[in-house]
Amino acid sequence: MYTNAVYYPNWRVYRNQPPSSLNFGMISHVFYAFARIDDDGSICLSDSWADDEMEVDGVKGCLRSFAALKKIPSNTHVKVILSVGGGGAGSDKFPLMAQDPTTRTRFADSARAMVDKYELDGIDIDWEHPSDAIQGTNFLSLLQCLRAALPAPRYLLTSALPAGEWALQYIPLAPAAQLLDLINLMAYDFFGPWSPIAGHQAALYAPTPDTPCANTAIEYLVKCGVPCSKILLGIPVYGRSFLGAQAAGQAYAGSAGDEGTFEFRDLPRNDAVEQVDLQLGAAWCVGTNEAGGWISYDVPETVRVKAAYAKERGLAGLFYWTVTGDSVAERSLVMAGYRELHSVE
């Protein structure tokens, strides 16, 4: 049975997307994003109102909603995992916490307490990302503490990792993989506003040898001793904008949208024309600057290509950041991945 996992960001409950809005028939795991690290090294909720207090689906808080929803007979296959960290400030406290045995233990103990309190299935570490060999060693020590506090198979321990040797090189990947149940490979954001040229932000294969892509990252993990059976291939449920460009490899004048992105549900925009390259496993649309310019993203066709690749390589499956940006019916990326992984027409 392949994993078809999604990240659910807690802030989307404020946009009328409560946990009950998810299609659990297509989902095996939900990573609840995000918890944070308190000043003393313990885990704390990032939004206690959304997570624990507001009325959601007839209970108090999104976490209890997920706990209740997965008890419904049709949903008992779903695992809900609390993700700690995230991009930017969400990961700032990892280095200090992970370097000290006392705070590592406090973090692990609080993780167990949090998981048990909300009837969850485990913890996901989204440290973005260990930036040198010392932090990589501390990352491994943190996983060891967590595994002791969250023994398998009762509890799941996972981690989101960047899809680039520039970051992965600092992590002891083989011993980390022995402790982890799943590695969520963030195989997206290969290009963005930080890039000198426009490019496919989540291509499966590279158009040129020096272009980053998901396959190269998978090959690196495997070379470093990570079992394919523990790798989830990440799918972005958003597109990255490059104003003024007409194709990958071109110069561009800036980015449009929220932080240079548009949710997949809103693509293509206005008069933009969508195109797909099944050989690369990449899609894009081209429109006016008002439409976002040249936008790189995934579509159901490319997700099916990636799901077929996951099956061929013996990967654990796919995950999506984030489920709340998905479209509906035949346009749904999550549905496309599920159907291909499980050979459903």
pLDDT at 274: 98
Domain count, the chain: 1
Other beta carbons within 10 angstroms of residue 45's beta carbon come to 20
Compute CA distances 196 → 21, 190, 192, 208, 318, whole Å: 39, 12, 9, 16, 29
**Can you give the residue range of the structural domain that contains 220?**
3-236+299-341
- Residue 128 bears catalytic tag: yes
Residue 133 has a pLDDT of: 98
Q: What is the pLDDT of residues 199-248, one digit of tens each?
A: 999 999 999 999 999 999 999 999 999 999 999 999 999 999 999 999 99
The tokens for 189 are: 């954001």
Residue 194, in any domain of the structure: yes
Catalytic residue among 128, 274, 290, 330: 128
In this structure, is residue 250 part of a structural domain? no
What is the pLDDT, as a whole number, of residue 70?
A: 97
Amino acid at 181: D
| Residue 241 in domain | no
CB 29 within 8 A of CB 68: no
Name the maximum alpha-carbon separation found in the chain: 57
Residue 267 in domain:
no
At residue 312, the pLDDT reads 98
Is 345's pLDDT higher than 90? Answer: no
SS3 of residue 192 by DSSP:
coil
Residue with tokens 């963005």, as numbered in its chain: 192
**Is residue 60 domain-resident?**
yes
The CA-based dihedral angle spanning residues 327, 255, 321, 158, taken in that order and rounded to the nearest 10 degrees: 170
Residue 195: per-residue pLDDT:
97
C-alpha dist (Å) from residue 52 to 10, 17, 108? 11, 16, 21
| Domain presence at residue 79 | yes
Asked, for residue 293, whether it belongs to a domain, the answer is no
What distance in Å separates the CA atoms of residue 151 and residue 231, rounded to the nearest whole number? 20
**Which CATH number covers residue 91?**
3.20.20.80
171 lies in some domain? yes
Residues 39-53, mean pLDDT to the nearest whole number: 98
Q: What is the pLDDT of residues 110-123, one digit of tens each?
A: 999 999 999 999 99
Nearest C-alpha neighbor of 281 from the set 217, 195, 345, 192: 217
| pLDDT exceeds 90 at position 91 | yes
